[in-house]
Structures are given as C-alpha cells and as structure tokens.
C-alpha cells in the first residue's frame, strides 16, 4: 500500500511508532525513523536489521525548527523527496494541577504540539515541490473529553486535532492530506508507566473488551497513508475499541 514511498516517523524507536516503522517496511516503504537519543535510535535500527529491515535513523531536537529543517534537507538529498510524515513522538502526564509546574505543562506542549508544527513546517516546502504528500499525527482518545489528571496531555492532543483540521484545509490545494489517528489505551511503555488504579478501570470500560495493541494503531496509519484514503483529509480517526474516554 505504500511501496517505495519515502516515510519519516517521529518517535519511531518504540511503542506505536516502532510498529508503524515495521508495518510500513513490511509494505515496501523506505522508512526513516526519528528518536530522542542516539542510543535508542541505534537499538531500534539493530532490532529491525535482525528481521531484514534497513532503516535510516536521526535524532534531531524536535523543538528546534532549524535542526529539523537541516535533517529533512539531508533526507531529501539522499531519497529525493518525502512522501509521508508521521508525527508520532509524544509524552504524557498524570499529575493533578496542584502538583504540575508551568514548565511541565510547557514541556508537554513543546514535544506534543510545537514539534509537530516544526516538522510540518519543514516538510511542507518539499511536499509542495513534489506535487503532494501525506501528513499524519498521533492524537489520543483524550482529545475528545479530556482526562481527570495530567491536564497538559489532553490539552496538547486537542491542539493536535486543531493543527490537523486546520492544516488539512490550508494544504489541500497542494494535494497534501493531513489526518490524525486517535488511539485508545494501547499496550506500550507509556501505559506501563501509569498507575494501575488509573489504567485498570479504563481497560474495564472498553466496549471491545481489550487494550489496543500497537499493530491495531499502525494499521490505521497505513490505511490513511495509502491511496485508499485519497479523499480523506482533516479527519481524526478513533482506534480505541469504542472507548472514547
Ligand atoms: P512510548 O513512550 O512508547 O513512545 C514514545 C516515542 O516518542 C518514543 O519513540 C520516544 O523516542 C519519542 N519521544 C518522546 N519524547 C521525545 C522527545 N523529546 N523528542 C523526540 N522524541 C521523543 O509511547 P507510545 O504509547 O508509543 O506513544 C506514541 C504516541 O501515541 C504518542 O504521541 C502518544 O501520546 C500517543 N498515544 C498513546 C496511547 C497509549 O495508550 N499508549 C494512547 C493514545 C495516544
């Protein structure tokens, strides 16, 4: 579905992003993964190599537009273009507002929102030059009703939906589609780090009766990236077993 496409995946070293990288490789794409550190990028590349998948890796500071821009220019120099950008890197929060500092709030907005602005701003000129492209963002089910703690996290995901819907309208004339996937509770390190009291009631309330697996989420990204979704833009696709928080 994405054969020979050039795809950049941020937060591709583990969890949902790693599964997206694997699935897109299985489907014949040229994938470039971004991570936060050299060690985690190397580790993901080694694991993928054992399964026969060669993947380039970078670790630009996503908060710096200049660093991201230089990295994308390097990728375009090597691959000729970028067809698909998947903005998946993200961090969560679970503290009550009394215990949350403004810096912690700003840090979440920085990686979950400003980083998407930076990567998107850096990729758009290349996509325009190439006659089009696909930009996919990772939102969350908490972007619908919020959550009872860690206010920065749902706030950031509401902003991801705003970026997605607005840029879909702005970039449609250039044949650039922009969509988001809103996962429910998914089996990754992000969830493992949350207290059981917070997670167990959530899982019990999922109508499909189970937690999501990274592959469930990656499948939605593959569909939205492919030409099967050629008339879909500005959409937030829930993949959450009907949980919706
Ligand atoms: P994870 O913690 O397993 O992976 C997060 C990824 O983001 C890693 O690859 C990490 O390198 C990258 N990252 C984190 N901070 C970074 C930084 N400062 N700079 C660059 N990269 C950074 O989490 P996950 O569960 O796979 O989450 C992936 C995305 O899915 C996130 O946007 C998250 O908000 C979203 N999401 C997750 C769930 C869930 O239940 N796991 C539910 C809804 C949405």
- Say yes or no: CB of residue 188 within 6 Å of ligand 1: yes
- 210 CA distance to ligand 1 middle (Å): 20
pTM (predicted TM-score)? 0.97
The predicted pLDDT at position 117 comes to: 98
The question of whether 153 is a catalytic residue gets the answer yes
- 228 CA distance to ligand 1 middle (Å): 26
Q: How many CB atoms lie within 10 A of CB 200?
A: 10
How high is the mean pLDDT in each 10-residue block of the chain (245 residues)? Answer: 97 98 98 98 98 97 98 98 98 96 98 98 98 98 95 98 98 98 93 81 91 97 98 98 86
Ligand 1 atom nearest 112 alpha carbon: 32
Q: 53, 59, 145, 153: which one is catalytic?
A: 153
CA distances from 69 to 45, 76, 77, 185 (A): 22, 11, 12, 33
The predicted pLDDT at position 195 comes to: 81
Sign of CA dihedral 40, 14, 114, 199: negative
């Amino acid at each position: 579905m994405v054969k020979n496409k050039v795809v950049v995946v941020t937060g591709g070293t583990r969890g949902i992003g790693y599964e997206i990288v694997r699935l897109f490789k299985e489907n014949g794409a040229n994938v470039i993964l971004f991570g936060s550190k050299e060690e985690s990028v190397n580790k993901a590349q080694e694991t993928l190599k054992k399964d026969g998948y060669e993947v380039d890796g970078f670790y630009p500071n996503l908060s710096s537009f200049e660093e991201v821009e230089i990295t994308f220019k390097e990728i375009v120099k090597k691959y000729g273009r970028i067809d698909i950008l998947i903005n998946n890197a993200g961090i969560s929060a679970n503290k009550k507002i009394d215990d949350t500092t403004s810096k912690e709030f700003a840090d979440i907005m920085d990686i979950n929102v400003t980083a998407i602005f930076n990567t998107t701003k850096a990729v758009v000129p290349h996509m325009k030059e190439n006659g089009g492209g696909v930009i996919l963002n990772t939102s969350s089910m908490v972007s619908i009703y919020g959550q009872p703690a860690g206010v920065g996290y749902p706030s950031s995901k509401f902003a991801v939906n705003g970026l997605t819907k607005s840029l879909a309208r702005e970039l449609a004339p250039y044949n650039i589609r922009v969509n988001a996937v809103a996962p429910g509770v998914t089996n990754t390190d992000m969830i493992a780090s949350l207290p059981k009291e917070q997670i167990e009631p959530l899982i019990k309330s999922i109508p499909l009766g189970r937690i999501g697996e990274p592959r469930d989420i990656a499948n939605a990204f593959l569909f939205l990236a492919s030409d099967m979704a050629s008339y879909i833009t500005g959409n937030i696709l829930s993949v959450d077993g009907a949980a919706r928080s």
